[in-house]
Homo-oligomer: A and B are copies of this chain.
């Protein structure tokens, strides 16, 4: 009954977080940000809405069909609610912080809203926590971001973490180098999206074999990189491969315990990335924990790499928080003193007959009675 009423009260894909989840999410987000800012990333906070054009610039182009649009009565221009923070952080880097020294390290958290959810993430609102490293093409920058994302996830208690690497610009470079366009390209892309190596190999030509090899090598990096190293790639695809090898080597040193996998033909959700990209998963948890990769800042064309973690997935991946200790304080008790000692107090608003029973009724774990804190049985 209450659930049905609730369903009628909130639009699909939008939820209230109740105790203890709302507090737990806040703790997770602050711990993630503490991990990120310890690496020198400084917090910025863009507004929830801004002009549509700003949100859709550069990597923001991915959000064209998922932003809510609003007419601004003040300016009579179309604004939109952000569906992702990265385009906003890129705008801040290029415009507000154009003269700040590079590389520029920025951290953020904020809610995003999407017109429709997708299969793996039906939520239409969630909180992003992330960071962007702007102004460096060094593989060390990619490695810093990926290692930081992994360390942050581990630091908040995620278990079964894996990082899946992708090279979304590799396939386009291969197809271009072989002059494959139009219907032929679309056909290959469909086969790639289905990971259908047999269709690819059945072409019988060099590019078909190479794409089939790329599909087949997907998996743990150790074996994948061995096979990948032996492929005769066109020159235009070499930078992608070189970056991948350099970054994997660094990640082995930085986060040796985190399993790395690679799926070199993965492109979904990376359509606007300009190089090495990645997704974080936790074993057995629905939806990705986070994702990131290389892109170009639209307004300045600077190279950048960043990562975003998703609060809803993190919350699903973690055990519920320990029960909070709360002490009920009857009239006359010194709640302020108990708070100074670190207690969470719940003060009576009037006299009660049985303080212990009232404490229990209010969900307290302790009660102030006979001038001492006593545990509720």
Contacts and interface: CB of A to CB of B under 8 A. Distances in A.
B79 A81 contact: no
| Most-contacted residue by chain B among A30, A47, A70, A345 (CB, 10 A) | A47
A243 interface: no
A280 B51 CA distance: 34
Contacts of A108: 22
Interface in A1-28: 2, 5-6, 9-23, 25-26
A19 B44 contact: yes
Contacts of A99: 2
Task: Classify the secondary structure of A's interface with B.
Answer: mixed
A12 B74 contact: yes
Given A49-B11, A101-B362, A38 B74 contact: no
Given A44-B22, A361-B101, A39 B347 contact: yes
Interface string A352-377: 00000000011100000000000000
A103 B9 contact: no
Interface in A56-105: 68, 70, 72-75, 77, 79, 81, 88, 91-92, 95-99, 101, 103, 105
B101 A363 contact: yes
Given A37-B23, A40-B347, A77 B11 contact: yes
A47 B125 contact: yes
Interface in A188-222: none
A331 to B, nearest CB: 8
Identical copies of this chain, number: 2
Contacts of A92: 16, 18
Contact of A141 (B15, B75, B326, B349): B349
Contacts of A258: none
Interface stretch (A109-117, A157-165, A168-176, A260-268): A109-117
Given A2-B95, A339-B38, A350-B140, A50 B9 contact: yes
B346 A40 contact: yes
A50 B6 CA distance: 12
A46 interface: yes
Interface residues of A, number: 83
A72 to B, nearest CB: 5
A96 B16 contact: yes
A177 B72 CA distance: 44
| Most-contacted residue by chain B among A43, A95, A346, A362 (CB, 10 A) | A43
A9 B361 contact: no
B48 A125 contact: yes
A115 B45 CA distance: 20
Contacts of A343: 38
